[in-house]
Structure 1
C-alpha cells in the first residue's frame, strides 16, 4: 500500500507583506523501500527525495510526519560517499590495507581522519594528536615520530614541509612499525582520511545539517543514506541504504509573484489588518496555486496506489 500526505501552502508576494515562501512541499510515503527505490519513486511522481536546507524545512517535515502518526525512521534525500584515501595520494599495491578496530570505521560528523592505537579508528580531524611522518617511498620508507600534538591538517602540513608526508601504511609490517611508537606517543595520526562527500539527491549544495553524535559503523559500505525520525527529534543520521524504510518526497515549488488591484468600497478598510490579508489570500489562492500542485492535490489515494503497482 502506498499512501501520500501533502503539506504545503500557496505563496504570494507583491503588494502584500507575507511570510517566507517554502520552496519544498513534502509528501510522506508509508510504503517501506530501499533508499534507491525511494529515490526512483520520488523522481517519477514528484521532484525528488526531500531536501532540507534550513530549520524551516526541518520544521515543515516534522509537522508532516506528526500529522501522519509515523514516529520511526524515514529516508530523505541526503547521502554520503565513503572513499578512504592516503594523504600522499598512494594508490599502488597495499593501498587498501586496513587494520580497523571493532565497529570501525564509523560515520560521525567531522570524524574523517584516522589514528593508530592498538588498531585504527576514525576520529575528529580537529583533535590534536601526535603523529608519524615518513621519508623515502611508501613501499620503502622510514618513520619519523613527531611528539608535538597537532590537528590532522597541521600534521599533514608539517610532514610535507619537513619530510614526505604523513605515514602511509600498506602492510602488516609497516603497521607494526607504527604500533611501536604508541607506548610513548599514545594515539598517532596516520595519513588515511576521507573527504566529507555529503550530497543531496536533487543536486542542491550541502550547507546546513542537523546531525547528532550518533555513530554508524561503515564496514564495507561505499555509500550511506539519510535517515530522520520524530522519535529522535528529527536528528539526522546516515544509515544502510539497502534497508527498507518509509520516505519523504518533495515537490520543488517555484516562487510566484502576484499583484492584486483592490477596489475598496469602504475607505476605512486596513490592508495591513491580518484578517483582511487572510480573506484576500483565501480568495486568491485557488487561482494562483501552481498547476502541478493543484493536480497533485486532486489525486486520490487509490490513484496513488494504482500508480505504484
Structure 2
C-alpha cells in the first residue's frame, strides 16, 4: 500500500510516498480502516521526525514509521470482539499510541478510538476533527467550563482555536478570541463575543481577567498570563513548547490552577462531537487540502503559523 514515511535525517528529513506492507494482523478489538483522509497537527512535526522513528515500538509497523494521527475512512475488516462497527461503516478518530499511522491507504485502530462519521460531513471534513476537537473539548472541561464563565482563547483562528470558540459557545461561555487583524471578522463569525488583536500591543496588560485562559498556541505560560487570570482563574495549555510544559506544573505547585491538556481519544467524546456537528453547532474549518503525494507541503503549510483551521491530506479522491 502507499504510505507516507521519512527519508533523510535531521534538517534533511522529508516526508515521501513509499510502498509498504499493509497492517498485518488485527487485534480482537481493532478495525482495519480504508483511509480516505487524514489531517496535519502541530504534534506531528513538533516531534522530531527521526526521534519519532527511534521511539516507535518494534513490531508496530515497519520502520521508518508511517505518519499521521487523525483519520476518516471506511471499515474493511474487524477483530472478533468488535461490536460497535460493521464492515462498510464510515468512521473517524485517532489512536493514542505514538501515532495512528493514518497517512496510508489502510490503518489499524482500536474500536474504542473511533466513532461513526457525522453523516453531514465529507471524509475530508471529518478527518480534520479528532485531535483538534478533542483538545478543545477536553481542555475546556479541564478548565472548569460552566455557563456564564468567561474564557480567553489565545490562537482562536487556528486548528484547535476555531473549534474551541464554537465548543465554548455551545457550553454557554462568554468567549474572547485572540487573533491577528486579518482574522478578526473570521473569528467573530465563529461566534466569539469579543475579540483581541494581538498585533496592537501587549493585550496581557490591558485585557482584564478571565475565568479560563486557554492557550491553544502553547507559546504562553501561566506566568506570562498571570494578569489575565482572575482570583480563581484556570490556565490551560496545549503544551508542546518547553517553557509552557515546565512553567505549568511549577505554577500549580504554588497553589494556582494550571493544566496541560493530555488528549484522550474515547469513542464517547467523538460521539459527542459528532452530535454537535449534526446539530449544526460545530463546523470544521479547513484551511487547505493536499493530495497524499504532497504531504511534505501540507506539513510546511501547518508549520507556517498562517492556517485558518486545519490542513487536510486527501488519501483517496472520494474524500471530498
Assess same fold via TM > 0.5: no
Q: What TM-score comes out, normalization by structure 2 length?
A: 0.24
Q: Which has the higher helix share?
A: 2
Q: What TM-score comes out, normalization by structure 1 length?
A: 0.24
